[in-house]
A and B are shown apart, each in its own frame.
Chain A
Amino acid sequence: MASKKQQEIDGAQALVMTLDALGIEYVFGYSGGAALPIFDALETVKSKMKFVLTRHEQGATHMADGYARATGKPAVVLVTSGPGAGNTLTGIMTAQMDSVPMIIVTGQQVTWMLGKDAFQEADIFGITIPVVKHNYLVRETNDLPRIAREAYHIATTGRPGPVLIDVPKNVSQSPFTGELDAEMDLPGYHPEKGFDIEGATIEEAARLINLAKKPLILAGHGAMLSGAERELMELAVKMDAPVTSTLLGKGVFPESHDLSVGMLGMHGTAYANKAVCECDLLLNVGSRFDDRIIGQAPKFAAQARIIHIDIDVAEMSKMIETDVEIVGDAKTALKQLLPLVEKAKHKEWNEHINGYKKKFPLSYKKQGGLRMQQVLDEIHDLTGGSAIITTDVGQHQMWAAQFYTNDASFKWISSGGAGTMGFGFPSAIGAQFACPDETVIAVCGDGGFQMTLCELATAVIHKLPIKILVLNNHYLGMVRQWQELFFDNRESGVDLVGNPDFVKLAEAYGAKGINIKRPADVRKKLQEALDYNDGPVLINAECIKTDNVFPMIPAGAALEDMLIEPPKYKMEKPVGST
């Protein structure tokens, strides 16, 4: 760029130019005073970036999140200071918990007012430290391009995560006199430090794999992020080992494959959890052994030698003591491992697991009213399992995970670690922007949907053909299930009396609305929704109020204590994590 032109731009323009040059495609945001110079720069700088005005800052973060989970690339969230920045917290935390790259740019009061309780001043740098991979408070205009470049680099390399840049108004509107292509300065950031993916470690892992009689592979989000699908398939077939996946790993190994045992954990399949209990070798590829999958740590895979592949050295032995720690990129590690693993046949073990599959299949009753499982089962059937699914958090999420099986990566978008209600719908908007030609279905509960439903306006304006599936039981169903099982069925704070007429609500925003009330209508109505592509369509499915999700491992219990069906005895209150 010519130096003459550089002298004519301000910090905000330099920031927008840098983000554009980094290949950012979408900016989701909400304007405000302290961000005025940056919003102005979006108009004055000719860039390829598209700005999407949301209706709430939380929605903007979930949209950027959905975009990133569908593409692997970060989007930018642009909001103002104070409440604008504060409203992004839940979305940032959600991204951090699930290792999603994101760049959040917040406007800020002018530097000389910081610390003086000025209008819309919030210490968002301090507030967000625990929920970001890294953050910045920019004090020099000329630092903006370097910091933007560092933010992108940090967000997308190693274990991905959100990076926040707080930009005081005087910093963004002062003349920019520096270098647009200033080099990064990150002496403390070495995502490959501690990598151990060759030599003795890999040989030891291969030795244990070759000794195993009852091997099991656990595939997590990390396997997906590293693009290890092919290596994973090759290894699973070579080892002749069943493969289970975490909630966020759904699709990295095709769930329709004979070797797949589906999702494990609190509401995972009975056969996946039984495989964990009985295996003699567990190869974890890119999962952080979340508390929702391990139950009671000392009893998790108690008979197995455990090999853990993770890109983040701090995940090693955090939850589970392992036999071999392989720190590094999952794809590279599997590539190193493959030639050392002997081709095996574990006929007896696989037949044993298949026996469990036959004995404890995922199923639901077809009588007694409309069940969420049926709606999900039928939409899976109608879309051939190839739609992008986003979810909120609760019963509908677990049933969606069970009944909407995935055969490909980046098609399942759900808030795992943070468990953020209200995530489903806005993340679907982000995913639909990312993949305009794919069917995107937001599977929501009536509780979660109402937390971010204002984004209906955003979806309508952009004519996004999202299918919003509100599985409506007029309850916060998962909490009610726990109250039924562990608190003598005392309902407290779970009855969503006062729900709106969701179809009328959709119509009020200019979206299409469809009601489903009878099990017999499900297929026809879902097909009608799938055929409508002129904008968002909301399907309100009136489901029975008091269904429960099984299998279930009460929090803190061991996997072997899984409930496959409703218990016939009074349950003790779980003492484990929530």
Chain B
Amino acid sequence: MARTITTTDSKPKPRPDIIGGHTLSMYVNNKPGVLMRICQIFARRAYNIDSLVVSQGRDPRFSRLTLGISGDPAGLTQIILQCDKLIDVIHCHEHTPEDAVVRELALIKIKTENSERRTEILQIVEHFGGKTVDFSESSMIIRIEGASDKVDASVRLLNNYEIIETVRTGKVVMARGEQPT
């Protein structure tokens, strides 16, 4: 019998021995293999990378990484130091929502065969400042962007309808004020 794998989002149950929600930003050389070095540091220490965004920096020789991570809180300082020690890493910082702007974007595809439900969905989308980016007879794709908890909240509400799938970009951060990211 074929096994179906659910691709809709469900929040993992919190585990007391694991910290979640930590966000690291790194400025790294834009070269093949750099991500491999960084990922090994997390995997060796049983850290999970919950989200990862990599993109070229303003200076194309460098890339920016934003990582959402979870793992044993006692190991976090070590991980930051070990990442910083990599020769391809220019710097590695931890960010909190207080000292940085954190944003992500989600695309949510919802079944909409019933026009009454469609209206309700559009009200929710409007409330969260989202946009409808694709519309068909049977489904629509919604784009929501903002802080992660806002995206979480909108997905939670939309869970009352028939979500086909969701795709999230993962967090990007920028430090507030004078602090470098």
Q: Which residues of A contact B (CB under 8 A)?
A: 125-126, 129-130, 133-134, 137, 154, 186-189, 312-314, 316-318
Contacts and interface: CB of A to CB of B under 8 A. Distances in A.
Given A129-B36, A134-B87, A188 B29 contact: yes
A317 B77 contact: yes
Given A314-B81, A318-B78, A188 B37 contact: no
Given A188-B90, A318-B78, 11 more contacts: A126-B33, A137-B33, A154-B87, A187-B29, A188-B87, A189-B87, A312-B85, A313-B81, A313-B84, A314-B84, A317-B77
Nearest to A314: B81
Contacts of A133: 87
Nearest to B78: A318
* Complex A-B, nearest 4 residue pairs according to Cβ-Cβ distance, in ascending order: A314-B81, A134-B87, A188-B90, A189-B87
Nearest to B41: A130
Given A125-B33, A126-B33, A188 B78 contact: no
Contacts of A134: 87
Nearest to B43: A130
Interface in B1-60: 28-29, 32-33, 36-37, 40, 44
A314 B90 contact: no
| Residue of B28, B44, B81 most packed against chain A (CB within 10 A) | B81
B58 to A, nearest CB: 14
B106 to A, nearest CB: 33
Interface string B98-139: 000000000000000000000000000000000000000000
B93 to A, nearest CB: 14
B94 interface: no
Given A126-B33, A126-B36, A188-B28, A314 B87 contact: no
A129 B88 CA distance: 12
B86 interface: yes
B51 to A, nearest CB: 23
Given A130-B40, A130-B44, A137-B33, A187 B82 contact: no
Contacts of A314: 78, 81-82, 84-85
Contacts of B61: 187
Nearest to A318: B78
Contacts of A188: 28-29, 86-90
Given A130-B44, A312-B85, A314-B81, A187 B36 contact: no
A129 B37 CA distance: 6
Contacts of A316: 81
Contacts of A154: 87
A184 to B, nearest CB: 11
Interface residues on B, range: 20 to 34
B117 to A, nearest CB: 49
| Residue of A125, A129, A188, A314 most packed against chain B (CB within 10 A) | A188
A315 to B, nearest CB: 9
Contacts of A129: 33, 36-37, 40
Given A314-B81, A314-B82, A186 B33 contact: no
A222 to B, nearest CB: 16
A132 to B, nearest CB: 10
A428 to B, nearest CB: 32
A130 B78 CA distance: 16
Interface of B: 28-29, 32-33, 36-37, 40, 44, 61-62, 77-78, 81-82, 84-90
19 contacts: A125-B33, A126-B33, A126-B36, A129-B33, A129-B40, A130-B40, A130-B44, A134-B87, A137-B32, A154-B87, A187-B90, A188-B29, A188-B88, A188-B90, A313-B81, A313-B84, A313-B85, A314-B84, A314-B85
A187 B89 CA distance: 9
A145 to B, nearest CB: 18
Contacts of B84: 313-314
A137 to B, nearest CB: 7
A316 B84 CA distance: 14
A318 B37 CA distance: 20
B151 to A, nearest CB: 32
Contacts of B44: 130
Nearest to A126: B36
Contacts of A125: 33
Contacts of A317: 77
Nearest to B34: A188
A217 to B, nearest CB: 25
Contacts of B85: 312-314
Contacts of A313: 81, 84-85
Contacts of B89: 188
Contacts of B37: 129
| Residue of B33, B86, B87, B89 most packed against chain A (CB within 10 A) | B87
A316 B28 CA distance: 23
A72 B149 CA distance: 54
A189 B90 CA distance: 7
A312 B78 CA distance: 12
A133 B88 CA distance: 11
B11 to A, nearest CB: 33
A312 B85 CA distance: 9
Nearest to A135: B33
A154 B40 CA distance: 20
Contacts of A318: 78
A101 to B, nearest CB: 14
A552 B82 CA distance: 32
Nearest to A315: B81
Contacts of B87: 133-134, 154, 186, 188-189
Nearest to B80: A314
A137 B32 CA distance: 9
B180 to A, nearest CB: 14
Nearest to A133: B87
Contacts of B77: 317
A134 B28 CA distance: 14
Contacts of A312: 85
A126 B44 CA distance: 15
A130 B88 CA distance: 14
A126 B40 CA distance: 10
Contacts of A130: 40, 44
A270 to B, nearest CB: 32
A189 B29 CA distance: 11
A431 to B, nearest CB: 29
